[in-house]
Amino acid sequence: MDRAEKQELVTTLADVFKSTSVVVVAHYSGLTVAQMSALRRQMKQNGASVKVAKNRLVKIALEGSDVAHMGPLMKGPTLIAYSDDPVAAPKVAVDFAKTNDKFVILGGAMGTTALNADGVKALATLPSLDELRAKLLGLIQAPATKLAQLSTAPAAKLARVFGAYAKKDEAA
């Protein structure tokens, strides 16, 4: 990797740290190529990305950013997973760590907040943005549905009463 490529990687990483809402740092030592490909595929399916870079270059990209506190995590063979959805990258990373012992979550950052491994796991238990939107939409629609049912219920009851009287008169 020549100097220009390194500079381009540093600027790319700096943009990632500025624009994404969550970053997860993990050790990947001992994972096979197939396992890494599976991790990248799972991340991509959930709207997240994985990047492996030299720790020294990542530390340079971290300088002056809001997530500069992640510098000490960059020791050994590390990768960073990031996403715009604050839950996507942690959820995939935690699920992948459950099935692969050699994938160890070190910590990360959400905005300016530093996260340890337990913080990343706690973040992974939260519902995603799409799930939250669906729940909120359901809560908003529920009262309207109930109002519609209440407004039609008296008319339906009244129609049944008139129907019962009509049948009673026909029988008599």
List, for residues 4-35, the tens digit of each pLDDT value: 888 988 888 888 888 888 999 999 988 999 99
Rounded distance between C-alpha atoms, residue 169 and residue 24, angstroms: 76
Same structural domain for residues 21 and 64?
yes
Average pLDDT, the chain: 85
Same structural domain for residues 26 and 91?
yes
Rounded distance between C-alpha atoms, residue 81 and residue 20, angstroms: 10
pTM of the entire predicted model: 0.71
Same structural domain for residues 82 and 157?
no
| Domain interval for residue 160 | 127-172
- Check pLDDT > 70 for residue 149: no
Same structural domain for residues 117 and 134?
no
- Check pLDDT > 90 for residue 127: no
Same structural domain for residues 28 and 83?
yes
- Check pLDDT > 90 for residue 66: no
Same structural domain for residues 122 and 136?
no
Same structural domain for residues 59 and 133?
no
Same structural domain for residues 63 and 77?
yes
CB 82 within 8 A of CB 16: yes
The number of folded domains in the chain is: 2
- Check pLDDT > 90 for residue 41: yes
Same structural domain for residues 70 and 59?
yes
Rounded distance between C-alpha atoms, residue 43 and residue 95, angstroms: 11
- Check pLDDT > 70 for residue 112: yes
Strand pairing class (104-110; 48-52): unpaired
Lowest mean pLDDT among 121-125, 149-153, 156-160: 149-153
